[in-house]
Structure 1
């Protein structure tokens, strides 16, 4: 019989440009904060370390990041310590692996998502990000992730009759919420006027609809049911988890506007939690641009195809709406933390379920959903969290 899986501790750094700090510094801060928040759990209790990082080899020169961070943290050399890769979904996939391990008998696992990119030149970062695409058919020709999302946005506008301004509610909501998050990269609001005047990055995506890759680390302590019973306060259970994949190259997909992996992983995870889309109170999605959030919401089944921007304009994605997203700022305002993002997302959902989200708290949040995409929806990792009183 598989054990239920719970979050015992959480920790995260401020997202930003940490020029004076190393990758190990950031990871250590997050891990130690997670341990401090989990009363009764010490480093020697940790039975495995799973690390999510999108750019370990390309930017940091570390091909054994799991062993490196285990050493830096002083963990036992006898435990498995490994890095998991799935581009921007790396942290979420690391968590998925930890959940599997705890379900099958491991008492305690530590998960860390970490990125340290701002010491590198823009062309190095672009080249590293492009590795999330098909290297032979896309990256080889200089196509970036932002350019691909822009092409999808252009096609969506053509198919459903929208202007670029229709996507403004997504970054506006993200910045409104991020302004209240002390860990966010951008803590200021924006409005429709500023969005309309913003410079183009990859038309029709402009600067205020384009997230910024930054430094940060987040950590989770995952435990079995026996240990969870000894924890004080509200228990947060990871009730469902799933991974699905799609063709890395957009032109090989039957319908590029259909994020089929996002849909599959969401429905499998919800099914494992014995829940449906309508049971979810708060969402964290991969939303580096409004079109990304739009396609995810529609793929998962929150809204009919071609309608998500209209619902967003009516307030549905705000903390008081039907499908609250980016309540801590999302990719746009919290910042894009690469492979660490999936861990930040789960922490943000857990804070909502514990009633600790402050000014952006979703009323009576009991069920949360976090989904992290690698590439343009090539890998989709979904987790369903439930509050247990």
Structure 2
């Protein structure tokens, strides 16, 4: 069997929304500059009166036996790299020889061992896993030795919900707890440049959430790389009494010493590395004792193949591996093949999953806070182009 086509399918559609999809954005590293701190921009599409307009791309790998593996969605920049940089190295090759193909793609990108080129390799790798599952007529989690359980708890990741209107925060926290989610993650809006006023607002968010959901409930908080060790030390001292399950991405991922220092200082566990790439990048976090929870993203770190290697190394050091929730479908197959001791939750990015799964025929959504396996072959990437306004093959 040989690869005969590598296509990039562009889909355009509109996600119906009741008002704006994104109510509020999170704190960002650029917020140290005042011209960015008050900028209220968002990703993933364009808000219009009728809904959230989305244009996105799916990678499709087809073989001479008529099998097709699919991955996505990915942004246009990643689609372009797949078409221009990676496709020539895939055509005519054996799609089952995934380790060889991954190694060749990785070695070909001498200036792309992270960033957008690694996102492109991740998409190709995931599409090849989808193809292999269809080749064998099995869901991918079975190829990986799963499932390890019949149901997988999801935690509600509340990116894009208002965090400054504390009455709405309280209402949403209770709502999602009562939907059956076993935990929630919320996103700080303020960083060091917002001063003590912003710090107090961050503390008020944590206090409000704890009071809303009660004592015996996990709450996590995402700093999205936008803080520093001094600020996080002060923040942690003020919120420790509310017992966060973890603080996430407290500093930029290259600041390994900052993570290590904070892990030594704080009683609150640290999670992170969603913006890191490959087993070699994650090894730095593990070997320096920088994190309690590793969060590889299957569409960023190098694909499912690389996430499995990261998990093997991390769990050998008894660390939790709970991937970033960019793709509910691919991540579910990973999670179902892991021990519940090391992957007790899967992230459900509530708003982003609506965007990413708009064109999927079988979106992955928790029921009563639980995710369940599907017997469909592959990763579950069949498309429903009903919501699509256009369905174009691009970069062909």
Higher relative contact order (CA 8 A, sep 6+): 1
Larger radius of gyration: 2
Question: Is this a same-fold pair by TM over 0.5?
Answer: no
TM superposition score normalised by structure 1: 0.32
TM superposition score normalised by structure 2: 0.31
